[in-house]
Amino acid sequence: MTLTPAVLITGASSGIGAVYAQRFAARGHNLVLVARDVSRLEALAERLRTQFAIAVDILAADLTQPVDVERVAQRLRDDQQIGILVNNAGMSLSGTFATQTSADINRLLAVNLSAVVTLAHAIAPRLATAGEGAIINISSVVGLAPEFGMTVYGASKAFLLFLSQGLSLELGSSGVYVQAVLPAATRTEIWQRSGVDVDTLSGVMDVEELVDAALVGFDRREAVTIPPLHNEQQWISFNQARQAMLPEFRQEHPAARYLNTSE
């Protein structure tokens, strides 16, 4: 791996992924940009090559398709220059669980879960062997809030948070940094694709501010970065409360409230 590792970014043609590409390019990293829209990828790659004098490869892939996911995974296994993976590609759905089609739900799970796990698994052994590198997974605050009503999307993002925390514990001792980034509403095209007019929403963060904040967390080596959360103590308390339960889970008998005392 080089002193300035290359960065592979999924969902790089627009939104959060495109801004990550610009920011890492400005830091002098070569890039591998992954998305479906080849024309957008080519335009972004050419702009970044010209502006920052870096190497940019494009890899057209539809992450709902296993053959395309495997092609990206193989690049991560083989390319020793890639030291940072940004698992950014994701999709949302309009409607509710009862009205969404099975086909659409499975497409969401393919992109938000299966592709993320496959790509992280492709690069993790190599990074652990090298003793350096990073994996950034773009989760969401929705994964902490079933009250928001985005059930399948939120469940997929909760999975990414758990995956990131677990990988951080597993890989951290090998020198591999894993970061979960939890945006709230961010001004990207995902709203239009899921049938929501973002201009009708309040409290929507600009994508540049989101990525810049996430990169501050990256530089600080935060395991979990939540840019919209102003009161950091709330996350600290949440995590402490979760950890306080852990010793209580090892029990031979149910809690007293579940004992049948009527007999």
Q: What are phi and psi of 244, to 5 degrees?
A: -65, -25
Tokens 């494009």 correspond to 58
56-60, strands of its sheet edge to edge: 56-60, 31-35, 6-10, 82-87, 134-138, 177-181, 224-225
Residues serving a catalytic function are 153
CA atoms within 13 A on the CB side of 153: 23
Buried b (16+ CB within 10 A) or exposed e, 207-221: beebbebbbebbeee
Q: Any residues with CB less than 8 A from the CB of 36 and at least 6 apart, and which?
A: 13, 60, 61, 62
Q: What are phi and psi of 65, to 5 degrees?
A: -105, 120
Measured at the CA of 222, the angle between CA 186 and CA 117, to 5 degrees, comes to 70
